[in-house]
Amino acid sequence: MNTQAPAHIAIKRPRDTVSRDCGPEGCQIDWLSSRREEVELDVMEFTKRSMELGWGDGLPLIPPTEGRVRGFLAANNYFPDQVVALLPPMRSECTIEKIAINAVMAGAPPESLPLLVAAVEAIASPNFELAGLNATTASVVPLLLVNGPIRDKLDIPYKHGCLGGAASTVTAIGRALRLIIRNVAGQIIGVTSQSTFGSPGRVAGIVFGEWEERSPWAPLAERRGVKGNAVTAYGTNGTMNIIDTTSQKGPEFLEMIGKSMAYHGANGFSPAVPFAEILVAVNPIWADIIHRDVPKLEDVQELLWKHASLPASALVHQHREQLEKLGRIHPNGRTYLATAPKDVLLVTCGGTGSLHAAAFHSWGTCITTTAAID
């Protein structure tokens, strides 16, 4: 939380709270450093007070009492004063304690702390460009994609309804990160954030897993150099549904997906950004068909990249002129949504009802980042 954090909040170091620095008999020490605040413990009263103090997001908050925060930390193995990262725009120290406080308020389970720590590390990477993401006029939000056995341990959805609607603690986990960005990083709408419209994802986040067991490709995190439990942070402007009830073959599905993503106002076509990525989620039925007909992942990426493009002649004059100056009009007269085929990120998830894919357009100079979950 920020320096105005509620008083009844705690964190944890090792479970021994006896220090020998004050003599051979030792003395009790308190590893909880956040400023205490006297508040009502009734959820609704605490939520009202939190809104007045700028801690809340409008949804009910659980009072982060000392007991709750200590219990949250006792289930893990971190020093509470460990600084995980400095988060912009305020350049505030995001400690384990602050993560725990916000997670308790959001209702996230203690077992989610390693995931939240890794998520903070990922979004704090210089490549992720959190300062710009937090300040921009766009509706961008950090999406978290989870790989590894921790998906099942934390009940991270990756099958039917994985992007929303599945009953799971994932909503609280995503909300915990959003509270961290609000209360520690200092993203405040209309003050440090100039987002024109915002996004529902700025309340509960966007957190889901990859259905690795049904994917014909290696897990995304493994392809990015991290095996096992990992989280990938991707700056997205939201979710986009793509329906296809007619295609039968892999190349046909890829053409439909690619062309659907390539609309004129997509962030990747903006002359204001130097590069762009695109994240594509396909259901397991389509994934099997695509892999059957286009076995190499690199060829799948190439086809999606090729189809996710527009003829320069279709752009308004000023738009086309600016892209030409940036060298983004290719010799074939087309401009491409993603900078290169390698920038098309592909995952398998979602239900077996088929018929749909999901796309997530990237934002600005935000580069996808993957971190291991300890």
Q: What is the 3-state secondary structure (H, E, C) of the chain?
A: CCCCCCCCCCCCCCCCCEECCCCCCCEECCCCCCCCCCCCCCHHHHHHHHHHHCCCCCCCCCCCCHHHHHHHHHCCCCCCCCEEEEECCCCEEEEHHHHHHHHHHHCCCHHHHHHHHHHHHHHCCHHHCHHHHHHCCCCCEEEEEEECCHHHHCCCCCCCCCCCCCCCCHHHHHHHHHHHHHHHHCCCECCCECCCCCCCHHHHCEEEECCHHHCCCCCHHHHCCCCCCEEEEEEECCCEEEECCCCCCHHHHHHHHHHHHCCCCCHHHCCCCCCCCEEEEECHHHHHHHHHHCCCHHHHHHHHHHHCEEEHHHCCHHHHHHHHHCCCCCCCCEEECCCCHHHEEEEECCCCCCCEEEEEEECCCCCCEEEECC
- Whether 345 maps to a domain, the answer reads yes
Q: What's the pLDDT score for residue 364?
A: 86
Q: What pLDDT does 34 receive?
A: 83
pLDDT tens-digit series, residues 157-167: 999 999 999 99
Number of Cβ within 10 Å of residue 337's Cβ equals: 26
β-pairing, 356-361 vs 240-243, is antiparallel
Q: Which of 118, 91, 140 is nearest to 365 (CA)?
A: 140
Q: Which residue has the higher pLDDT, 10 or 125?
A: 125
96 contacts 189 by C-beta, under 8 angstroms: no
CA–CA gap between residue 182 and residue 260 (Å, rounded) = 33
Indicate whether 2 belongs to any domain.
no
Strand pairing category for 278-282 and 344-348 = parallel
Q: Band of the pLDDT at 9, cuts 50, 70, 90?
A: very low
Examine residue 218 and state whether it is found in any structural domain, yes or no. Answer: yes
pLDDT in tens, 210-236: 999 999 999 999 999 999 999 999 999
Distance between CA atoms of residues 374 and 371, nearest Å:
9
Both structure tokens of 349:
């998830």
> Number of folded domains in the chain?
1
In a domain, 10, yes or no: no
> What's the pLDDT at 140?
96
Q: Amino acid identity of 6?
A: P
pLDDT tens figures, 21-75 = 545 554 445 677 888 888 889 999 999 999 999 999 999 999 999 999 999 999 9
In this prediction, residue 1 has a pLDDT band, given cuts at 50, 70 and 90, of very low
Quick one: CA torsion of 104, 107, 111, 112, rounded to 10 degrees? -90
104 assigned to some structural domain: yes
- pLDDT higher than 60, residue 176: yes
Asked if residue 3 belongs to a domain, the reply is no
Say whether pLDDT at 91 is over 50: yes
Specify the pLDDT at position 30. Answer: 61
Take residue 365 and report the two structure tokens written for it.
């100079």
Beta carbons of 216 and 296 less than 8 angstroms apart = no
pLDDT tens column, 225-269:
999 999 999 999 999 999 999 999 999 999 999 999 999 999 999
| 78's tokens | 């971190």
What residues are paired with 23 via a beta bridge? none
Predicted confidence (pLDDT) per residue in 185-210, tens digit: 999 999 999 999 999 999 999 999 99
| Averaged pLDDT for residues 157-182 | 96
pLDDT for the residue numbered 305: 98
pLDDT in tens, 342-359: 999 999 999 999 999 999
Judged against a pLDDT cut of 60, whether residue 370 lies above it is answered with yes
Both tokens assigned to 38:
């006297």
> pLDDT tens digits for 271-324?
998 899 999 999 999 999 999 999 999 999 999 999 999 999 999 999 999 999
Residues of the domain holding 82:
18-372
**What are the beta bridge partners of residue 282?**
348, 357
Task: Please give the Cα distance from 201 to 174 (Å, whole number).
Answer: 9
- Angle made by CA atoms 16, 32, 176, in degrees to the nearest 5: 115
Which of 210, 361, 182 is CA-nearest to residue 283? 210
Contacts of 26 (CB under 8 A, 6+ apart): 18, 19, 20
If you average pLDDT over every residue of the chain, what do you get?
91
Q: Report yes or no on 9 lying in a domain.
A: no
- pLDDT value at residue 5: 38
* Dihedral angle over CA of 85, 88, 91, 92, nearest 10: -60
Residue 183 burial (C-beta neighbours within 10 Å; 0-12, 13-18, 19+)? buried
**Domain assignment present for 228:** yes
CA gap 112, 125 in Å, rounded: 20
